[in-house]
Amino acid sequence: TRSYSIAVIPGDGIGKEVMPEGMRVLEKAASIFGFEIEQKWHDFACCDYYARHGKMMPDNWKEEIGRPDAIFFGAVGWPDTVPDHVSLWGSLLQFRREYDQYVNLRPVRLMPGVPCPLAGREPGDIDFWVVRENTEGEYSSVGGIMFPNTDREVVIQETVMTRIGVDRVLRYAFDLAQKRERKHLTSATKSNGIAITMPYWDQRVEAIGAEYPDVSHDKYHIDILTAQFVLNPDRFDVVVGSNLFGDILSDLGPACTGTIGVAPSGNINPEGIHPSLFEPVHGSAPDIAGQGIANPVGQIWSAAMMLEHLGEAEAAAAIMRAVEQVLATPSARTRDLKGAASTDACGKAIAEALG
């Protein structure tokens, strides 16, 4: 039988609550579709681990993780005990870089029956992908502080764009657009104000776009692009952005479809040299952690993306049908979607709807 090794890392806060629901649905899908999940849980990459060891992960974390077929991740961060940049640069951001997961793929889709905060929008009106550059750009460790703790303090952080880094994520986005019906790519830019890196980004979009004559493309500055997400979300098919712009757009997009709680993501190393990592877009949500009310759909949809990536397309599609069926049922929805269902009730309903 087909078997997949999965590194399971729940993380902090609601990561620990939604992960069991992701695993529940994954295991159910495995039993129905005839494959096996070999799971290895890790207790690092979370702030409890930091409290015990003074660091987010063991020094040999790569050996501990080994070479799984994929990594299934919850969410990390507990700012009351560990500063966010410490916990995130010590875990998730290291995975993205060390495993060269240079594409962060994040769907934005309005699901049938889910109340849409934008008036008059139907499922189908909002159905696009955000392709986020995931290893460089504004998320750089290049910079520093001069004259610290004086009134002459100077704080600098550079944006880093490399030709290889920009071109490869653009090619991924154009390839994706080419496979879609509308074959349209929108690039997020800010080349009017950020006058070195962003004109470079635009120039590479033109250069790579020329390799895809059948894909149309346009660009918006990020400020008006956020407005367009709200005013005309039906305009988008594939939206590609730098690390920071992609981050912002991938919370805004799902919020326009009802909640960030349903949004999944794939942190992908397309060449398959390193494992890819699948996780919800949302964070550890300290404000609701421990109450059993988090929406598990982002984690469950991430499981579907992971299965698609592993070649189990049928199982992935079945999970998505189950998710749609449950989201269309008001009583099965969690509080972020104006329902009253608990995290595990929602997860169980999706597992049951699977068959």
* Residue ranges that bind ligand NAD, judged by CB under 6 A: 14, 75-77, 79, 84, 88, 92, 260-261, 279, 282-288, 294-295, 298, 334, 336
Q: Which C-beta is closer to ligand IPM: that of 28 or that of 132?
A: 132
Q: Which C-beta is closer to ligand IPM: that of 88 or that of 304?
A: 88
Binding of Mn ion at residue 12 (CB under 5 A)?
A: no
Considering only 12, 247, 279, 336, the residue that binds Mn ion (CB under 5 A) is 247
Which of ligand IPM, Mn ion, ligand NAD, none binds 261 (CB below 5-8 Å, type-dependent)? Answer: ligand NAD
Binding of Mn ion at residue 138 (CB under 5 A)?
A: no
Q: What is the edge-to-edge ordering of all strands in the sheet holding 127-133?
A: 35-41, 2-11, 70-75, 276-280, 264-268, 103-109, 127-133, 238-241, 184-189, 216-221
CB of 130 to Mn ion, least distance (A): 11
Give the 3-state secondary structure of residue 284.
coil
Element (H, E) at 81: none
CA angle, corner 29, sides to 127 and 288, nearest 5? 65
Which of ligand IPM, ligand NAD, Mn ion, none binds 131 (CB below 5-8 Å, type-dependent)? Answer: none
How many Cβ atoms are within 10 Å of 312's Cβ, its own excluded?
22
CA angle, corner 285, sides to 284 and 289, nearest 5? 95
Across the chain, where does the E strand assignment appear? 2-11, 35-41, 70-75, 103-109, 127-133, 143-146, 154-157, 184-189, 216-221, 238-241, 264-268, 276-280
The closest of 206, 208, 212, 224 to 184, measured between CA atoms, is: 212
Considering only 88, 277, 310, 326, the residue that binds ligand IPM (CB under 6 A) is 88
Please list every residue from 164 through 193 that binds ligand IPM, using CB under 6 A.
none
Which of ligand IPM, Mn ion, ligand NAD, none binds 295 (CB below 5-8 Å, type-dependent)? Answer: ligand NAD
Element (H, E) at 206: helix 197-209
What CA–CA distance (Å, rounded) separates 107 from 253?
9
CB of 134 to ligand IPM, least distance (A): 8
CB of 329 to ligand IPM, least distance (A): 28
CB of 38 to ligand IPM, least distance (A): 26
CB of 281 to ligand IPM, least distance (A): 6
Nearest residue by C-beta to Mn ion? Answer: 247
Binding of ligand IPM at residue 281 (CB under 6 A)?
A: yes
Binding of ligand IPM at residue 319 (CB under 6 A)?
A: no
CB of 147 to ligand NAD, least distance (A): 29
CB of 86 to ligand IPM, least distance (A): 11
Element (H, E) at 343: helix 343-353
User: Helix H segments across 90-159?
Assistant: 92-98
Which of Mn ion, ligand NAD, ligand IPM, none binds 136 (CB below 5-8 Å, type-dependent)? Answer: none
The closest of 313, 328, 306, 325 to 23, measured between CA atoms, is: 306
Q: Are 267 and 172 in contact (CB under 8 A)?
A: no
Nearest residue by C-beta to ligand NAD? Answer: 77
What CA–CA distance (Å, rounded) separates 104 from 123?
23
CB of 79 to ligand NAD, least distance (A): 5
Q: Which C-beta is closer to Mn ion: that of 237 or that of 247?
A: 247
Please list every residue from 241 through 270 that binds ligand IPM, using CB under 6 A.
247
- Counting Cα atoms < 13 Å in the Cβ hemisphere of 299 gives 32
Rounded alpha-carbon distances, angstroms, from residue 278 to 232, 265, 327: 29, 6, 21
> x/- binding map, residues 110-149, to ligand IPM, per CB under 6 A?
----------------------------------------
Q: Give the footprint of ligand IPM on this chain (CB under 6 A).
A: 77, 88, 93, 247, 281, 283
